[in-house]
Homo-oligomer: A and B are copies of this chain.
Amino acid sequence: MVTLKQVAARAGVSPATVSRVLSGAGQVQPEYRERVLRAAAELGYRPNRLASSLRRRKTEKIGIVVSDIENPHFTQMVRVVEDAAYHRGYRVLLCNTDELADKQRAYLHVLADERVEGVILAPADPAGAGIAELLGMGIPIVAFDRAVDDQRADAVVADNAGGARRATELLLDAGHTRIGFVGGREEIQTGRQRQAGYEDAMRRRQATAPSVEDGGFRIDGGEAATYRLLDADPRLSALVVANNLMAVGAFRALRARGLHVPDDVAFVTIDDPYWASLVDPPLTALAQPVDGMARAAVDLLFERIEGNRTTPRSVIFSFDLRLRASCGTATPRYQPPCLASPERQPALTLSTRPLPS
């Protein structure tokens, strides 16, 4: 492997001069510059960033830790973050925890050892061991999608309770009373809040007792949870599903039972994946403004990296209703509260206080 020293020898200058030319820092005589550039090109020199990072004590690397790389919600975030990081000269180490606390801890250690300058974390385990360690080492963390327990981290989350409440009210307004909830991992803030929103709506309207099953935010889990809900209440007439992957599972379960959507079971989902309008019937969905959330996360992270802010900040985004056929609310008496402003205009709330969980 060609080193900077070899380039220096070939160009007949000192290593310091080569470094100056290649890094663009400091003045170098045009002739030397030329010679260095030529020597580097002839040798096919590629600088060793390990050495450079070690010396400069800057890695220009950030970590992204997601709980499920196959969830398009996270993929979309990864795309935006990767792009923004690239334009700032940063690279991305991607980690997938598969919703496992152990893997999260292991990966956070890896990122610490790699001396990444910051981490965007969609936590599988909000109390996870690695979190405090990284923050203690001065590595900023922005929690994405789900807050973490440690108050020093920033957070970008959606108004999960509000979104789930609205999804539930949509079905209540359409006259449903027996509404089930396919939830996700109650130990995770997202799951807990969405469930709370659902239960809150049910309670306020004095509907039947809430009926909740945990689908673990996965396709298979969502399918199994739906079966359990259907078995528990044969008269169930509507379903709120807490994320897009479980919506796939719920759909499969309803089809397998020969239940028609929305006539037999009406259906609202949280998240609006790109295929939602193609399924039969098209899915009524509460969409998170993922791109905006991802950009907010990157901005928060780089504020920390650049040392422009030290107090924790949380950003909450609201959901956007996409009314389609699956909720069966085409009944005339129902006036959807959101159709007035169909444009994507997420209400952005900034708070300097950490979020309550």
Contact = CB atoms under 8 A, between A and B. Distances in A.
A70 interface: yes
A48 interface: yes
Contact of A69 (B48, B82, B251): B82
A292 interface: no
A219 B98 CA distance: 28
Nearest to A114: B49
A54 interface: yes
A330 to B, nearest CB: 17
Chain A interface extent, by class: 35 or more
A337 interface: no
Contacts of A114: 49-50, 91
Nearest to A52: B113
Given A54-B48, A279-B275, A279-B280, A75 B79 contact: no
Given A46-B109, A49-B113, A279-B280, A93 B92 contact: yes
A16 interface: no
Contacts of A46: 109, 112-113, 133, 137
Interface in A53-72: 53-54, 59, 69-70, 72
Given A46-B133, A136-B44, A274-B219, A72 B72 contact: yes
Contacts of A109: 46
A51 interface: yes
B91 A93 contact: yes
Nearest to A47: B113
Contacts of A277: 252
Contact of A48 (B1, B93, B96, B115): B115
Nearest to A57: B1
Interface in A249-299: 251-252, 273-275, 277-281
A75 B273 CA distance: 15
A48 B115 CA distance: 7
Contacts of A188: none
Given A54-B54, A94-B92, A69 B78 contact: yes
Contacts of A54: 48, 50-51, 54
Contacts of A19: none
Contacts of A150: none
A94 B74 CA distance: 14
A151 interface: no
6 contacts: A46-B112, A69-B82, A86-B103, A248-B274, A273-B275, A278-B280
Closest 4 CB pairs of A and B: A280-B280, A94-B94, A275-B275, A49-B113
